[in-house]
Structure 1
Amino acid sequence: MEFAAAAHAFTDHLERVRRLAPATVRAYRSDLRDLASAIGERTLEEITLETLRDWLWHATQRGDARSTLARRAAAARSFFTWAHEQELIAHDPSLRLVAPKRGRTLPTIASQDAMTALLEAQRTAASAGEPTALRDHAMLELLYGAGIRVSELCGLDVDDVDLDRGTARVLGKGSKERVVPFGRPAREAIGAYLTRGRSALLARAARPSPALYLGSRGGRIGPRAVYSLVAEVLAPFVGADTVGPHALRHTAATHLLAGGAHLRAVQEILGHASLGTTLIYTHVSAERLTATYRLAHPRA
């Protein structure tokens, strides 16, 4: 069977059957397209372990990051496992394929004092009643207060938020739904936005939208607009040139653990499928504790 046809069938399976997130499917498609250009005219049965190793070696030579190599190796293994299960190939050539381990990079986070100052500045800006300022304050409070992903924030409808209970129903990776809590500051910010800001933005729309957060034209706000907002307001507080909404999620998780939250509870709030993903925040807390010790203790 031709590689391109099999790769198309595989990504279609990921999208329609496994219902993976669009960004994940795009990543698989990109990796398999790169592999297709490396193997040339060879069929599935002609691809060997050495073929795959050569592919990763050439990626190393052109300067691909270790994280990219690890992702591509994982994509190849997933694809050939599926192809073997579908009896498209007699043997899986990727069984012994390995890639360099990803280097552990700690996420960018803001201190509790920095978040207090940032959100207080946003609250002050929103107090004038300008619709987008009310919306921005409400978005930032929820991103930090609930630790949700930007895609989950943008996908929220008005009916997904219960201000009385302080909870939001979000749709996470793999179309998994969960309910996340948020505190009084977020409740107040969202309430002010719903009362004084959202209707003004909705009036600019060609047709009504159920979305909680609306863009400048009255339609559902997109991730790019949220990225721009977070990059503008958060970067000065964390000393980074490029920072996005995920930094607020990292910050929320780190502050939860620092405040005594159980690791399993943080995993559930964040919607991590694996506890190992949540463990990174224990490393963050430990490193910050070590840095504080070295600055403060006379025998450090």
Structure 2
Amino acid sequence: MELPQGWLALLEDYAAHLAAERGLSAHTVRAYGTDLRELAASCGIAPGRVTLSTLRSWLGAMRDEGAAASTVQRRVACVRGFFAWAAREGLVASDPAVRLKAPKRQRRLPKVLPAGAVAETLAAAESRAGEEGDPIALRDLALVEVLYSSGLRVSEACSLQLRDVDRDRRSVSVLGKGGKQRTVPLGVPALRALEDWLRVRGAVSTPSSPDTVFLGARGGALDPRVARRVVHDATAAAGPGAETSPHGLRHAMATHLLEGGADLRSVQEMLGHASVATTQVYTHVTSERLREAFRQAHPRA
């Protein structure tokens, strides 16, 4: 899209700042750039002429168009970050977004697979891997086991390196968001499935294969889209309504840990959340399950 004068160079400098100084991923930097380009096109004026009134009009237009509250919140956060940076660097006279507020988003509890459904999923994947003896079936089992055991994001699992697996300590080292490193434990079934896959990984790898743990059928690094399809197909085996994504397994791992007595701070560390407030959504999930059980079972509920 064509941008008003003054925006292009500023957005290029901001993208470089996000990548180099804040360590954001290329995907996140592109997403920020898209949001800011849409703002520039909507305002139609140079960045130095944008005022709080301009931004409020932009915000109102988004809401009139039916944008989801989560989308509006994300874009407002992006714009606030951009103008705070521009003002700090002396690229605009003042920060017009400092008092810009987004509508509050109603927090929805994530859908979580019951532990029984996850167990059925893993049992079906294990049976299929044993019957077929196919390296890809063994990879799929290892992927699902590792995702549920560790709560890794799908991007983290797909970029996991062979050197990141510590079999003696039964853990993996993960490079998460913002370039932050963390160590996550693996359960015995996940480690066993991972070792079974690594024994046959050579049947899939090629001389040009990367050192990632999980490979695609042609020997390249496993594409996150393929990983999502693997998880969806595996969880569908547990019955209608059980289908979920890698992020669904992450939700399940966190919820089941808390239900089993794990403390919130440990779960935060395993998930790689910067703030414990992000992890607290899972305490609401477990509390809601307790309330539902009480309502259904207690004679005087």
Q: TM-score range by the shorter chain?
A: over 0.9
SS in 2 for 1:92: coil
Q: What runs of 5+ residues in structure 2 fail to find an aligned partner?
A: none
The residue that corresponds to 1:272 in the other structure is 273
Q: Does 1:52 align with 2:60?
A: no
Q: Is the 8 A contact 2:215 2:222 kept in 1?
A: yes
Q: What runs of 5+ residues in structure 1 fail to find an aligned partner?
A: none
> By how many angstroms is 1:22 displaced?
2.3
Q: Does 1:5 align with 2:13?
A: no
Q: Does 1:116 align with 2:119?
A: yes
The residue that corresponds to 1:104 in the other structure is 107
SS in 2 for 1:144: helix
State, as a whole percentage, how many aligned pairs show the same letter. 46
User: How far apart, in 1, do the equivalents of 2:242 and 2:12 lie?
Assistant: 38
The residue that corresponds to 1:286 in the other structure is 287
TM-score, normalising length: structure 1: 0.95
Q: Does 1:134 align with 2:135?
A: no
> By how many angstroms is 1:296 displaced?
1.6
Q: Does 1:164 align with 2:165?
A: no
> By how many angstroms is 1:235 displaced?
4.6
Change (3 A) 1:254 1:94: same
Change (3 A) 1:223 1:189: same
> By how many angstroms is 1:3 displaced?
2.1
The residue that corresponds to 1:74 in the other structure is 77
User: How far apart, in 2, do the equivalents of 1:221 and 1:239 lie?
Assistant: 27
For each residue in 1:24-77, what CA deviation from the matched residue of structure 2 results, as whole angstroms up to 9, or x when unmatched? 21221111011011111x112211001001111111111110000011111110
Alignment-mate amino acid for residue 113 of structure 1: G
Please show how residues 235-274 of structure 1 align to structure 2 within 5 Å.
235=236, 237=238, 240=241, 243-274=244-275
> By how many angstroms is 1:258 displaced?
0.4
Change (3 A) 1:248 1:5: same
> By how many angstroms is 1:242 displaced?
7.2
Q: Does 1:154 align with 2:161?
A: no
For each residue in 1:94-119, what CA deviation from the matched residue of structure 2 results, as whole angstroms up to 9, or x when unmatched? 01101111120111211111111110
Determine which of 191, 194, 198 is the counterpart of 1:194.
Answer: 198
Moved over 3 A (4+): 235-243
TM-score, normalising length: structure 2: 0.94
Q: Is the 8 A contact 1:110 1:238 kept in 2?
A: no
Change (3 A) 1:234 1:241: closer
For each residue in 1:198-224, what CA deviation from the matched residue of structure 2 results, as whole angstroms up to 9, or x when unmatched? 11111xx35242111010101110100
User: How far apart, in 2, do the equivalents of 1:164 and 1:295 lie?
Assistant: 45
User: How far apart, in 2, do the equivalents of 1:16 and 1:223 lie?
Assistant: 24
For each residue in 1:266-295, what CA deviation from the matched residue of structure 2 results, as whole angstroms up to 9, or x when unmatched? 111111110100100000101111111222
Q: Does 1:88 align with 2:77?
A: no
